[in-house]
Amino acid sequence: MSISTITAGALGEKAACELLQKQGYKIIDRNFRTRYGEIDIIALDFSNKLETLVFVEVKTRWNLDYGYPEEAVTPRKLRLVAQAAQFYKLTHPKTPDLLRIDVVAIEVEGDRVVATRLIRNVTG
């Protein structure tokens, strides 16, 4: 059974939120749009005892013929996410000073999630 790109994306974002919450993240915004593009998930991470504002790019694939989901996060995409993150920070000044970009990779078969991976701090 094949699902549409929109359905796979929604399924992937839901699974990503669940994974992040299990890891202790607090989701504060989703699908934040700017002229630079969209940030899929914005969350707070308290795991290092310092509150960190995390911008999460979610990539979902139901077919690995073109590679793993995380391989689709290009340097250009990371630059756009970083620009959108700076815009978010400027428009939300009471958020933490520590910023980070994470990627959540989701693999889907049919209408179910079969694998999730969290890659932290993809910018270095």
Two tokens at 109?
């078969």
Q: Is position 124 within any domain?
A: no
**Alpha-carbon distance 19 to 21, whole Å?**
5
pTM of the model: 0.91
- In the chain, which residues have pLDDT < 50? 1
Structural domain boundaries, residue 88? 5-119
What's 55's domain CATH number? 3.40.1350.10
Q: Is position 61 within any domain?
A: yes
What is the reported pLDDT for 36?
Answer: 87
Tell me the average pLDDT of the chain: 92
- CA dist list (Å): 8 to 5, 54, 64, 86, 108: 5, 23, 14, 28, 7
Number of domains in the chain: 1
Q: How far is CA 102 from the centre of its chain?
A: 6
